[in-house]
Amino acid sequence: MTMTDFDILGIGNAIVDVLAPADDAFLDREDLVKGSMTLIDADRADALYGRMAAGVEASGGSAANTLAGLASLGARAAFVGRVRDDDLGKVFAHDIRAVGVAFDTPAATEGPGTARCLVMVTPDAQRTMATYLGACVGLGPDDVDPEKVAAAEITYLEGYLWDPENGKAAFRKAITCAHEAGRRVALSLSDAFCVHRWRGEFLDLLSNGAVDILFANESEIAALFETGDFDTALQAARALGITAALTRSEKGSVAIAGDEVHVIDAVTPEKIVDSTGAGDLFAAGFLFGLTRDLGLARAARLGSLCAAEVLAHYGPRPQVTLADFVAGRY
């Protein structure tokens, strides 16, 4: 196998988050399910934003957050995603490059604006998201460069990419390119509703060797295997024969591969402020651990540490250099 240019290449939706506090009654009135991600159109986005509280804007996108975390840990990271050439697109490109991620997908010069995710943060620190995909729907297989995929040790895909038709085609192409080059593919299931939408196709990908490393939280793995019992889902995941990290919020995580099963405690910050990005940053730490051959248990501990950093503040990406934050702690 040839040398790699990147530890991880991520492909996902390029989104700017708008985070604002909200209460449960607001979520009810807006018909939003707490903790989930709902896709909305431009009109609904305008109307919902109009009713939201004053907020802050921060670059987001699930895979993009993970890649930002990886770069902050010191990994060689690249991202593919589509913005428009508007204010928010410039913010997205600035933020991901500023943390050291290679990002050169050209911004669209026409069509819908840069995607935004309206994130309502309830007093229990849960985040509920409504996403207008905007320019993201323009991402397609032409944006996936086979040479770049071949140059990355692991290609990381977010399940959300399965929603737009073009994204799905880009996703499939990336898997083919990676495996032809002898590289690995990682997948995040993204969201329980996303799993409901694409359950059969995700199960196919996981059973037929398309995915080597799986990330899922408790509700996503429950949706995938249609069970409310975590251990039942765990045994089903083990039967897939792949590497998987199953995250359980304050209950920690379970990392599996072959015969290995590690049950790792969560790292809880003094105060949990906002869960946005916690799963994405767990993935960053875990993937970093895999590329550094730290073993499953240390990789999962590193994931928990990275998640703890973003749990302690508003917004989905680290506010400190993760390499310093985690030093000597895993």
- The residues binding its own copies (CB under 8 A) are 18, 20-21, 49-50, 52-59, 68, 86-88, 91, 94-96, 98-99, 113-114, 313-315, 317, 319-320
Minimum Å gap between C-beta 146 and its own copies is 29
Question: HEC profile for 73-85?
Answer: HCCCEEEECCCEC
Contact 157, 144 (CB under 8 A): no
Minimum Å gap between C-beta 156 and its own copies is 19
By DSSP bridging, strand 243-247 and strand 213-217 are parallel
Strands of the sheet containing 77-80, edge to edge, are: 102-103, 77-80, 6-11, 152-158, 184-188, 213-217, 243-247, 253-257, 260-264
Minimum Å gap between C-beta 108 and its own copies is 15
Question: HEC profile for 82-127?
Answer: CCECCHHHHHHHHHHHHCCCEECCCCECCCCCCEEEEEEECCCCCE
